[in-house]
């Protein structure tokens, strides 16, 4: 029975020794792999590669941040330019309104000048008719006076003896007075007609000036409308460029964010793998210690058994 127990113990001891030897070899292999991974250039290259990728991503992030700052500066510049364009549009709108007001005033003045011209023309026609009537009346009165003078002179021909005593002095004075009155009236009407003609010419000049001002105002208004259309188109183009830059910047920021998240996930997975390897190594160390203790125990038992068997029977 003791021999069977010893044989069983020997078999178990052989199995434990084989297992310990296998675990020690595997431990040595793992230790060599860990040391090679720590000191090998492949591990260093992997670490350097990881650091280079991390450095490149940091540089890309810095570059994206600088581009973001540049885009913000460009946005601020575009905003200032848009504000300047808006202020210029407001100024041009105010100038346009002022031109419209001047155009309406010019139109009113033009209408007034036209009315004054029409009135002056009518007044000139009336004065011409009055002058013609006065001339006709004057001619009729003059003809009547000539007839009266002729009849009076014929009646006075019979009084040749007393020709000196009966001269028509009063009639001649009356004729002189009438001729002077007629000359004064003609001069007065001529003066009024010349004044009316001068007023008509002045009205024509004012009308021409108003038409020219109206034309200039229309040209200025067209020029302002063209400038306003160009500024509106430029404003739309700047807004589209700003929106496109914002979209591009947002897309690049999202790409960098995804890349950073992927790197963080990879780093987390590497940390988990390293922790798992360390845990496996710790378990192997504990198993090695337990096997070493068990081997030492069986060795002690075998030594005790061999000592007991080698003792003499007495």
Cα 78 from Cα 252, distance rounded (Å): 21
Query: What are the domain boundaries of the chain?
Result: 1-39, 40-155+174-309
Compute the C-alpha angle 123/129/133, nearest 5°.
Answer: 140
Cα 135 from Cα 112, distance rounded (Å): 33
Report CA-CA distances (Å) from 166 to 171, 270, 293. 12, 157, 190
Cα 75 from Cα 69, distance rounded (Å): 10
Cα 5 from Cα 16, distance rounded (Å): 16
Report the chain's mean pLDDT, rounded to a whole number. 78
Cα 10 from Cα 309, distance rounded (Å): 15
Host H or E run for residue 152: helix 41-156
Cα 84 from Cα 76, distance rounded (Å): 12
* Residue found by looking up tokens 């407001």 in the block: 90
Is 146's pLDDT higher than 50?
Answer: yes
Q: Number of helices (H) and strands (E), helices first, in the chain? A: 3, 0
Cα 162 from Cα 62, distance rounded (Å): 139
Cα 280 from Cα 294, distance rounded (Å): 21
The confidence score (pLDDT) of residue 314 equals 40
What would the two tokens of residue 16 be? 């434990």
CB of 99 closer than 8 Å to CB of 221: yes
Give tens-digit pLDDT for 229-253: 888 888 888 888 888 888 888 888 7
pTM of the entire structure? 0.34
Least confident of 90-94, 138-142, 159-163, 260-264: 159-163
CB of 303 closer than 8 Å to CB of 9: no
Start-to-end CA span in the chain (Å): 22
Is 166's pLDDT higher than 70?
Answer: no
Q: What percent of the chain has pLDDT over 70?
A: 86
CB of 120 closer than 8 Å to CB of 203: yes
Cα 307 from Cα 96, distance rounded (Å): 125
* Residue found by looking up tokens 């008509």 in the block: 200
pLDDT tier at 161, thresholds 50, 70, 90? very low
Is 159's pLDDT higher than 50?
Answer: no
CB of 256 closer than 8 Å to CB of 59: no
pLDDT tier at 153, thresholds 50, 70, 90? low
User: Could you tell me which of 254, 248, 245 has the C-alpha nearest to residue 77?
Assistant: 245
Residue 204 burial (CB count, 10 A) = 13
């Amino acid at each position: 029975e003791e021999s069977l127990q010893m044989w069983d113990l020997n078999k178990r001891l052989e199995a434990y020794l084989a297992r310990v030897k296998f675990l020690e070899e595997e431990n040595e292999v793992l230790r060599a792999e860990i040391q090679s991974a720590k000191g090998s250039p492949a591990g260093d290259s992997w670490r350097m590669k990881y650091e280079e990728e991390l450095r490149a991503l940091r540089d890309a992030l810095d570059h994206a941040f600088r581009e973001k700052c540049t885009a913000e500066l460009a946005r601020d510049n575009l905003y200032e330019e848009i504000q300047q364009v808006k202020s210029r549009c407001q100024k041009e709108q105010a100038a346009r309104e002022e031109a419209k007001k001047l155009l309406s005033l010019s139109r009113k003045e033009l209408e007034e000048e036209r009315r004054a011209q029409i009135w002056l023309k009518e007044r000139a026609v009336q004065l011409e008719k009055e002058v013609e009537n006065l001339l006709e009346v004057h001619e009729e009165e003059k003809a009547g006076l000539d007839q009266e003078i002729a009849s009076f002179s014929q009646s006075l021909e019979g009084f040749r003896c007393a020709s000196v005593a009966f001269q028509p002095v009063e009639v001649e004075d009356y004729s002189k007075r009438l001729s002077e009155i007629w000359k004064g009236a003609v001069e007065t009407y001529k003066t009024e007609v010349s004044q009316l003609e001068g007023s008509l010419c002045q009205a024509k000049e004012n009308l021409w000036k108003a038409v020219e001002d109206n034309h200039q105002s229309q040209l200025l208004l067209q020029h302002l409308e063209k400038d306003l259309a160009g500024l509106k188109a430029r404003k739309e183009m700047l807004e589209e460029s700003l929106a496109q830059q914002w979209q591009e910047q947002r897309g690049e920021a999202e790409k960098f964010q995804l890349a950073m998240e992927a790197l963080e996930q990879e780093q987390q997975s590497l940390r988990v793998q390293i922790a798992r390897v360390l845990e496996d190594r710790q378990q192997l160390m504990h198993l090695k210690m337990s096997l070493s203790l068990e081997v030492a125990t069986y060795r002690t038992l075998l030594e005790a058994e061999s000592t007991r068997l080698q003792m003499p029977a007495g």
